[in-house]
Chain A
Amino acid sequence: MTWYIDQGPDSDVMISSRVRLARNLEQVPFPHRMDAQTARKAADEIVKAFFQDDTERKRHYLLVDLDSLSLEDRLALAEKRLISEDLAKAGDGSFHRAMISRDESVSIMINEEDHIRIQSMQPGLNLEQAFDGAKQAASILERELPVAYHEKYGYLTACPTNTGTGMRASVMAHLPGLAMGGRIKDTVDGLIKLGFAVRGHYGEHSKSQGNLFQISNQLTLGISEEDLINDLKRMLQQLIEQERGVRRELYRRQPLLLEDRVMRAFATLKSARLMTHEEATELLSTVRLGMALGLLPNLQPSDVNRIYALIGPASIQKAHGQAMTPAERDSARATAVRDLLERSGA
């Protein structure tokens, strides 16, 4: 089972759910003020506290020394959302580590903006289970480590936007209907007014591509973890209904136009020889919409997810194991997409 390939609740609109918890060591400066020696000591302490002598946990989790990986390899991990883009780009020598579960559903980043960033992922809309995963990893670490906690302010983090619960609960929402219907701007503005954050696919600094939006709670102080998740979930359920309604309405009004668009996207994915990442994500978005409307009965959502996970620039480069020009990447990407679609039999 892999969270970024499998289907989950409401997967037609909500691709995946993630809960992130930030924790810090009490006696150690936050990562942006650590020297190399302190960073190494903190990293060692966190890794030791997590694994201890638990052979089962050692089997289940992989320790990744990010400093020893190439930039491409780190970016490939970020494209799979197993580490943050900031951490991938942070460069060598800062004792960045990640402990990633073999099923890739839980990843613990060390020495990111905070000493510890735990993230737990699930397919579809399933924030509760994602929260459980993060909570479990946090409690192992909190049992062993002197974690920075304040009676009034809760969990102490480097940035005051994370103080309190240290929790960011988010979903990756696919909203092609609202986008085609010209309602995406109003929707996003509305979400922001309600106190949620909306970003592009790869998080903080990215634009939306392929109608994918990361929606998360904005506040972390003065509200409990459960209430944060429930508020987000209640809003998302309304959003899901809106998106489904618009999709149905678009199809009812102009079935031929929509079918044509879906089939053209599918045909391009099956035949193109050169494909940029942006074009691929746009086409996959249209194909996903087509699947949700029952227009591509032979294609499985997991096939699209599998393609999606492999077409990022760094992932393509990593698969080829050598430096590539953008044109070479576009060619390799088009080939990879064709191969995967062929194998899926659609």
Chain B
Amino acid sequence: MLCERCQKQEATIHVTQTRQGKTTEHHFCDSCARELGIGHSITDYFGTIGNLFGSGMLGGGSAFNHTGGIPAFGAAVPRNITCPRCGQTFEQFRHTGLFGCSQCYTAFADLLDPVFRRVQGNTRHIGHKHEPSEAQLRAERLSTRLSELKHALKLAVDEENYEQAARLRDEIRQLQQAGTQPDERGKT
């Protein structure tokens, strides 16, 4: 049997997939299977079996079964994307169906549109907007000020104005320390 993808090589990897009671078979040659990321785990290509909205909602079925995982993607998915804040990988997200922290949304941004299209039928929030809290506004102001100072520091170093650079570096340090003080938020 020929590989269903390249239609040239002999198919050596055979995959049987059952979803919503329907069984389908796929046949790939070695090199196509490798390119598609099949090999370590078949579910890497086909997604974990389980359809978010497929099962009946009554009698034990839930809207989101956390062992069900995230449905299939149309292409091979990079497995090694890791959220820099919480350390959760995209693979773990697909497996558990849960993000690890709010930063995961940014870390996995390139892969999320298909997920949301499938789960929600949409990819953009149009409801109520969150007004940033005082703490968030302060953090934003701090971050803007820090980037300004860092930019100025770079210029000062480029111009060999070391006195100015030292002053800027101290100011940056002070601001960074203040920003990490746990009680800072409650002070004002």
What is A's interface to B at a CB cutoff of 8 Å? 24, 26-30, 32-33, 113, 142-150, 152-161, 163-165, 167, 188, 192, 197-200, 204-208, 218-225, 228
Q: B91 CB to closest chain A CB, in angstroms?
A: 15
Q: Which of A165, A199, A208 has the most CB of B within 10 A?
A: A199
The answer, among B59, B116, B125, for a CB contact under 8 Å with A207, is: B59
Task: State whether the Cβ of B52 lies closer than 8 Å to any Cβ in chain A.
Answer: yes
Q: B15 CB to closest chain A CB, in angstroms?
A: 26
Apart from A153-B116, A153-B123, A153-B125, list 15 A-B contacts with CB within 8 A. A26-B102, A142-B133, A148-B102, A150-B102, A150-B125, A156-B102, A160-B99, A160-B119, A161-B119, A165-B128, A199-B62, A200-B58, A219-B120, A222-B120, A225-B128
What is B's interface to A at a CB cutoff of 8 Å? 52-53, 56-60, 62-64, 66, 70, 85-86, 88, 96-102, 105-106, 112, 115-116, 119-136, 139
* Alpha-carbon distance between A267 and B134 when the two chains are bound, in angstroms: 61
* Alpha-carbon distance between A154 and B121 when the two chains are bound, in angstroms: 15
B97 adjacent to A218 (CB under 8 Å): no
Interface of A is mostly: loop
- Chain B contacts for A33, CB-based, 8 A: 86, 88, 100-101
Across chains A and B, which 3 residue pairs bring their CB atoms closest together, nearest first?
A222-B122, A154-B125, A148-B102
Q: A18 CB to closest chain B CB, in angstroms?
A: 15
Q: B4 CB to closest chain A CB, in angstroms?
A: 31
Interface of B is mostly: loop
* Alpha-carbon distance between A167 and B58 when the two chains are bound, in angstroms: 21
Known: A221-B125, A224-B128. A161 touches B133 (CB 8 A): no
The answer, among B57, B86, B127, B130, for a CB contact under 8 Å with A198, is: B57
Q: A178 CB to closest chain B CB, in angstroms?
A: 13
- Chain B contacts for A156, CB-based, 8 A: 99, 102, 105
A208 adjacent to B123 (CB under 8 Å): no
B97 adjacent to A146 (CB under 8 Å): no
Q: Which of B66, B124, B125 has the most CB of A within 10 A?
A: B125
The answer, among A32, A146, A161, A225, for a CB contact under 8 Å with B139, is: A146
The answer, among A24, A32, A147, A160, for a CB contact under 8 Å with B133, is: A147
A223 adjacent to B57 (CB under 8 Å): no
